[in-house]
Amino acid sequence: MADRIKLLPDHVANQIAAGEVVQRPASVVKELLENAIDAEASHIKLLIKDAGKTLVQVIDDGDGMSTTDARLSFERHATSKIKTAEDLFQLHTKGFRGEALASIAAVSHVELKTKTTSDEVGTLIRIEGSEVVEQEVTVTPKGTSVAVKNLFFNIPARRNFLKSNTVETRHIIDEFHRVSLAHPGVAFSMFNNGAEVFQLPISNLRQRIVAIFGPKTNEKLVPVKEDTPVVKMEGFVLKPEFAKKSRGDQFFFVNNRFIKNGYLHHAVLAAFEGLLKEGSQPGYFLFLEVDTKSIDINIHPTKTEVKFDDEHTLYAMLRSAVKHSLGQFSVTPVLDFERDKNLDTPYDYKNKPVGIPQIEVDKNFNPFKESEPGQKNITFPFKRDKTQNWESLYSGLQQQKNLQENTVNLDEIEFESEVVTGSLFSESAAESGQNTFQLHNKYLITNVKSGMLIIHQQRAHERVLYEELLKNITVQEAVSQQLLFPMELTFSKKDVALLHSVREQLEFTGFSFESFGDDTIKVKGIPTATTESGVQIIMDNLLDDLNNEVPDTGFSQNDLLARSMASSLAVKTGTPMGKEQQEHLVNSLFACKEPSVSPKNKEVFITIPLTDLDKKF
């Protein structure tokens, strides 16, 4: 029988490895940025074109590589980070397996320029699909520049699976955020199709968070700090009132490496217990520093998952640290309702020396002494005038008393009394023939031929608004109410770009925008169904939905926009409704194309047949 097992060629093995390491352009960005960090760069520049499909380039001013190192860097499992298997448990760098550049070069055109401080000239290497097509001496500044062009040019199937440029750019920005947050001591800049997106100078962690997510973030942050022999924690959590539906602003870093860990996330949720609304997610930027021997980061190709030796201890410490910070900064409620915050001793006073208060008394002060002209003595501020003709204050009272006694007869006074009625509903409802009633400010009850109809008012209103908004977006017409003064809303640069991508659809729903800045939006017109105070809530909910579902352009995006706005604008459970409002909502609901389900595919109404009611009696 002939042998069946054969060794794969190197270029095929590299393409298979690339399937694990390089999933999309954002994977290339992550690997190249981490290589620049390992090279101890102080300034890193990221350039992308067409969401990374055409170009991903990272330029740094790090140590650079010699000619031999530059050539070996594209070989599989060639690395300077580890020498033995035991080194995997003593890692202090980002990359260590030596397969990133080899995998990237297998599915793209790569151009590398690098130069060390001691060399006079640098090295240029061009690789296309794992094949070196050019290697020569070049003039380049100190550091390394890696340009990845035409990603997946030799694997069309993988390229076809990539999403739209908007979605892929969003993933690239996410990776840029993760690396830049972990290293505030490094300056980062990012350019998309020639336009500057981020310019982050060297700063501390708080300044870096504010620079990325907008100036409004500063007031949301609550610092967290804990130092123990097992783990050292620091970072920030967002105040509970700024919690969102999505899990976007959640960052865990272990030894300055971004990770995803559901167990530690649950510890933060436990610390926020009782402070968040149902379905809300807390935001946090938490950095954990542990012994490298106590974790294993080689369990996942993208190294975003790690395994801890003692997760239970980390869970307890993290939960305790976050809960202590929320209490220390008066975020959590207290049971002492008579507590005076003015009597609290600030933590800064712990090591402050005790000082005896000094009391100064003016021995010459006499509140009853009148000041003489030209004298600067302090006198009693309220001077009592001598009362003259005090009898005039009570003149006319006797005549008025006699007049009231003559005109008012106490026996003829009628007192109001509560009228007891035996009617179940008010007389106005009975006289008008109203057949719709509200139950517990949540359900609308109306009668039909077969029995009784119970309608969920919020879901019904969502269905009505959804179909109306979707129609306006489709036919591209809507009514807008103009504001006297434009509203200025502040978001992160990523969120502004996301809202700008759906600007046209928002305008068809009734919004009117004056301008889009780097981190601000000016709104000059809003839909007639909303108020100025509700605009911020609508935009926040829309951003949460867009970040959660990541829709592509087309009908799915319009559908998501209509669903999100309908959910924000709909009348909420617990809101009382008048007779006209109830009847209008019921009539509008059954004028819809799909009145039985809400935009989120939940039941809107139920019917209780008359026969079922009869059986109850």
Q: What is the pLDDT of residues 169-205, one digit of tens each?
A: 888 999 999 999 999 999 999 999 988 888 999 999 9
Domain annotation covers residue 351: no
Residues 145 and 249 in one domain: no
CATH classification of the domain holding 223 = 3.30.230.10
Q: What is the pLDDT of residue 206?
A: 92
Name the least confident of 126-140, 294-308, 569-583.
294-308
Q: Taking the mean position of all CA atoms in its chain, how far away is CA 121?
A: 47
Res. 300: pLDDT tops 90: no
Same domain, 129 and 275: no
Closest CA to 360 of 378, 375, 348: 378
The predicted model gives 588-614 an average pLDDT of: 89
Cα distance between residue 221 and residue 218, in whole Å: 6
Report field, pTM of the whole predicted structure over 0.85: no
**Can you give the pLDDT at residue 125?**
92
Integer angstrom CA distances of residue 258 from 38, 261, 286, 500, 528: 15, 10, 10, 28, 44
Residue 543's pLDDT band (cuts 50, 70, 90):
confident
What pLDDT digit, counting tens, does each position of 387-409 carry?
Answer: 556 666 666 666 666 655 555 55
Minimum mean pLDDT among 160-164, 267-271, 411-415: which range?
411-415
**What are the phi and psi torsion angles at 298 (to 5°)?**
-105, 35
Question: Is residue 400 in a domain?
Answer: no
Same domain membership, residue 282 and residue 195: no
Q: Up-side HSE of residue 200: CA atoms within 13 Å toward CB? A: 35
Is residue 194 one of the residues assigned to a domain? yes
Distance set, CA 499 to CA 50, 250, 548 (Å): 19, 21, 14
Lowest mean pLDDT among 131-140, 203-212, 394-403: 394-403
Examine the fold and report which residue of 178, 200, 222 is the final residue of a domain before the chain moves on. 200
Does 153 share its domain with 237? no
- Residue 426, pLDDT > 50, answer no
The pLDDT of residue 384: 53
Residues 213 and 243 in one domain: yes
User: Is 279 a residue whose pLDDT tops 90?
Assistant: no
Residue 486 belongs to some domain of the structure: yes
pLDDT, average across residues 240-254: 83
pLDDT above 50 (res 423): no
Each residue's pLDDT tens digit, 499-511: 888 888 888 888 8
Asked whether the predicted pLDDT for residue 295 surpasses 90, the reply is no
In this predicted structure, what is the pLDDT of residue 91?
A: 55
The CATH number of the domain where 534 resides is what? 3.30.1370.100
Cα–Cα dist 492/470, whole Å: 27
> Are residues 148 and 168 located together in one domain of the fold?
yes
In the chain, the number of structural domains is 3
Q: What whole-number distance in Å separates Cα of residue 343 and Cα of residue 360? A: 23
Q: Which of 293, 328, 363 is the last residue of a domain?
A: 328
Q: What is the pLDDT of residues 26-46, one digit of tens each?
A: 989 998 998 899 888 999 999
Residue 202 to residues 43, 172, 205, 206, 239, Cα–Cα distance (Å): 9, 21, 10, 12, 26
The tens digit of pLDDT for each residue in 50-102 reads 989 999 999 999 888 888 888 888 877 666 555 555 545 555 565 545 577 88
Task: Supply φ then ψ for residue 567, to 5 degrees.
Answer: -65, -35
Cα–Cα distance for residue pair 325/237, rounded to 1 Å: 9
Q: Collapse the DSSP code of 573 into the 3-class scheme (helix H, G, I; strand E, B; otherwise coil) and give the result.
A: coil
Q: Are residues 286 and 189 part of one domain?
A: no
In whole angstroms, what is the distance from residue 174 CA to residue 283 CA? 15
Coil vs helix vs strand at 290: coil
415, part of any domain: no
What is the CATH classification number for the domain harbouring 194? Answer: 3.30.565.10
Characterize the bridge pairing of strands 109-115 and 143-149.
Answer: antiparallel
Give the span between the Cα atoms of 57 and 143, in whole angstroms. 13
431 band by pLDDT with thresholds 50, 70 and 90: very low
479: domain range?
Answer: 439-605
pLDDT at residue 421, as a whole number: 46
For residue 344, being part of any structural domain is answered with no
The confidence score (pLDDT) of residue 422 equals: 44
| The pLDDT of residue 110 is above 80 | yes
**What's the whole-number average pLDDT of the chain?**
80
Tokens of 347: 């933590």
- Alpha-carbon gap, residue 489 to 198, rounded angstroms: 19
Same domain? 122 vs 263: no
The pLDDT of 11-25, averaged and rounded, is 69
Identify the band that residue 428 occupies on the pLDDT scale cut at 50, 70 and 90. very low
To the nearest whole percent, how much of the chain has pLDDT over 70? 77
The answer to whether position 615 is within a domain reads no
Cα 616 to Cα 246, 606, 613: the distances in Å are 45, 18, 5
Q: Is residue 30 located within the same domain as residue 64? A: yes
Closest CA to 45 of 55, 53, 54: 55
What is the Cα 319 distance to its own chain's centre? 21
In the predicted model, what is the mean pLDDT of residues 1-24? Answer: 69
**pLDDT score for 201:** 93
**Residues whose CB falls within 8 Å of the CB of residue 581, separated by 6 or more in sequence, listed in order:** none
460 falls within a domain: yes
Question: Which of 286, 310, 328 lies at the terminal end of a domain, its last residue?
Answer: 328
Residues 191 and 62 in one domain: yes
Output phi, psi for 519, to 5 deg: -135, 20
Q: Over range 355-367, report the average pLDDT.
A: 80
* % residues pLDDT > 90 (the chain): 21
User: What is the per-residue pLDDT across 551-593, written as a single tens digit (0 to 9) for each?
Assistant: 554 557 788 888 888 888 888 888 888 888 888 899 899 889 8
Q: How far apart are CA 553 and CA 501, in angstroms?
A: 9
Judgement on whether residues 192 and 289 belong to the same structural domain of the protein? no
Domain identity same for 191 and 237: no
